[in-house]
Structure 1
């Protein structure tokens, strides 16, 4: 297995393979997305590749793409589409601006089921965050996947928001080298 890093639109040469991995991962439990989200991902990826700092790390087993991670630099002012309002509500306006704007935002991390358990996800995450500005990287994930939450915790990412009172929704993590890691009241880890 090898990991290759692509900048900007260079990753789009592998768009069919990225869509295939996306569907394998996110149309299965716990995400349970409809297969049409793979097409939406491809459309979004074309625009995302033009974002400042866009980076994609792809894991190859021979010629087959078995996983990928994508990231870009979060803009200023903080975006308002997708899940960004939930992030801003969880952190508050000052922390959102100070901690996330200008930081590397990990958007997607996906590894085919047959390639899991071999450190592929950790290698992808390390590759895509290697050049995070000032070590500042962040991501959000859904609490519907305790495995994802546990994965980031075990890689020294710091959870800095709490899920909603019913335990549902998204949580924000700061990367291992983010200077604000110790500034937030941390949620209690699960038993």
Structure 2
């Protein structure tokens, strides 16, 4: 036979549990005092841009160039001479966007034919750009350096290098460098 059937207890003997309202949780937050009244300062109608850093002709006299000796050219590249200044200069001359961005960011320096310092161990903030340096310029240089032979990227360079975006007198000139550096340093800043 099967298990005995359980009988339900009479309703009067069942315990009826009444739901009681739960107390509200205690807050551990304390009210913060009201800050003192502060008079807002109006924003300038004309945002202030970072100054353009230029390099004087005296400093440029010893700078390496694409055409001259010591122009960032080392003995790397598997027995071939590496002239990274020439490589970067050639790429920038072909890039109209970079030339336009430089002219827009530094119109006074460009019109005066000054040499613009763009990297001195770190990319230099340009105009009203959000980040360091001109993004398009940084990217164009980084691409050339990144795809250069390892020996060329690792070549030690001393001092400044001068990149001319045209051979015409008064054309845009960019300057990069500091005491001792390598082309690969441009990739990590």
TM-score interval for Structure 1 and Structure 2 normalised by the shorter chain: under 0.3
Larger proportion of strand:
1
Q: Which has the higher contact order (CA 8 A, sep 6+)?
A: 2
- Normalised by the length of structure 2, the TM-score is 0.24
